[in-house]
């Protein structure tokens, strides 16, 4: 089993060119399945496991209160793994053909209103930490980047004159995102502070744009802690995460009339259906247009 798993991970990493994070997620899912087989169905292997076996595994995940999204990701991982085994002639059928994904409700993404964005960005300070924190928030809101994308941005990825950044997205797909005026101004203030920090910490070889206080690349956890602190300081009652800024970006530009296909491109979505979840925020605007345009739109019932 382990040999087949390693072969598959090598395949998705080198041939399909999937990101390290995706390969790591696949590895975790497959090894958890292998451990369950050893424990619960020792007579089954990846070569002999049938559809019933996989359904029992999915049921065990459900009993452990795994989320629908997590279970569907596991099913997807197993589907790709067994397809690989069929293509390599290790087995003749794919047992996941009889396993359906679980239905999941679509949850509206949490986002910040424009005035809340202004509040969380309203802190003062011109030292490295304050300017770095403001840049982190400004870029997230200005570009709609995933936090995993932003922390992996290098200084060489920034196009200062064009006010844009080359982002390395999911599946190693690159795209260009744009900096608004406020984000660009903060970037201009940050760069000299960054240079002074790396000089004082002797980390001049560090390529990352966003640094921690030690002069090395900021981590995802570190970014989340900064955002949480700034949200608390701003007195926001909402739970604010790095992804909240991505949702806010999409929400605000769609509400302003941007084409959904363009928004999908900016967000790096492979499928427009992923972007459509943000269209709920346009309902208010649609209602206003209706009331203005429809002959009876503005009438009140008597």
Q: Please state, in angstroms and rounded to a whole number, the distance separating the CA atoms of residues 275 and 250.
A: 8
Q: Which two tokens stand for residue 76?
A: 């997807």
Alpha-carbon separation of residue 102 from 64, 95, 167 (angstroms): 15, 16, 33
User: Among residues 31, 163, 228, 243, which one is catalytic?
Assistant: 243
User: Among residues 134, 146, 247, 252, which one is catalytic?
Assistant: 146
Alpha-carbon separation of residue 297 from 256, 277, 281 (angstroms): 21, 26, 20
User: Among residues 194, 246, 247, 252, which one is catalytic?
Assistant: 246
- Can 161 be counted among the known catalytic residues? no
- Can 278 be counted among the known catalytic residues? yes
Structural contact between residues 242 and 224, judged by C-beta atoms closer than 8 angstroms: yes
Task: Give 244's DSSP letter.
Answer: H
User: Among residues 170, 201, 228, 280, which one is catalytic?
Assistant: 170
- Can 269 be counted among the known catalytic residues? yes
Compute φ and ψ for 161, nearest 5 degrees. -70, -35
DSSP for 81-97 reads HHHHHHHTTS-SS-GGG
- Can 294 be counted among the known catalytic residues? no
Residue 108, SS3?
coil
Q: Which two tokens stand for residue 211?
A: 């640094």
Structural contact between residues 93 and 54, judged by C-beta atoms closer than 8 angstroms: no
User: Among residues 132, 134, 247, 269, which one is catalytic?
Assistant: 269
- Can 239 be counted among the known catalytic residues? no
Compute φ and ψ for 178, nearest 5 degrees. -120, 145
Structural contact between residues 218 and 137, judged by C-beta atoms closer than 8 angstroms: no
- Active site members: 146, 170, 243, 246, 269, 278
């Amino acid at each position: 089993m382990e040999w087949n798993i390693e072969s598959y991970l090598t395949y998705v990493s080198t041939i399909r060119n999937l990101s390290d994070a995706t390969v790591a997620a696949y590895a975790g899912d497959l090894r958890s399945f292998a451990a369950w087989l050893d424990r619960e169905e020792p007579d089954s292997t990846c070569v002999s496991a049938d559809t019933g076996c996989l359904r029992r595994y999915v049921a065990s995940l459900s009993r452990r209160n795994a989320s629908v999204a997590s279970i569907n990701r596991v099913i997807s991982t197993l589907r790709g793994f067994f397809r690989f085994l069929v293509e390599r002639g290790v087995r003749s059928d794919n047992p996941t053909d009889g396993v359906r994904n679980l239905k999941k409700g679509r949850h509206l993404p949490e986002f910040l209103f424009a005035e809340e964005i202004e509040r969380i960005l309203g802190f003062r300070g011109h030292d490295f930490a304050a300017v770095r924190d403001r840049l982190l928030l400004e870029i997230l809101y200005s570009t709609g980047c995933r936090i995993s994308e932003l922390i992996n941005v290098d200084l060489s990825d920034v196009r200062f004159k064009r006010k844009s950044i080359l982002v390395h997205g999911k599946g190693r797909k690159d795209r260009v995102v744009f900096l608004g005026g406020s984000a660009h101004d903060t970037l201009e203030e940050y760069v000299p502070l960054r240079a002074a920090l790396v000089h004082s910490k002797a980390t001049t070889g560090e390529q990352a744009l966003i640094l921690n206080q030690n002069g090395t690349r900021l981590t995802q956890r570190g970014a989340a802690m900064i955002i949480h602190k700034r949200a608390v300081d701003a007195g926001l009652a909402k739970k604010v995460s790095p992804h909240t800024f991505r949702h806010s970006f999409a929400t605000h530009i769609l509400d302003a009339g941007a084409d959904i296909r363009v928004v999908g491109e900016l967000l790096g979505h492979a499928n427009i259906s992923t972007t459509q979840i943000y269209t709920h925020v346009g309902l208010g605007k649609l209602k206003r247009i209706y009331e203005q345009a429809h002959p009876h739109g503005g009438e009140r019932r008597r």
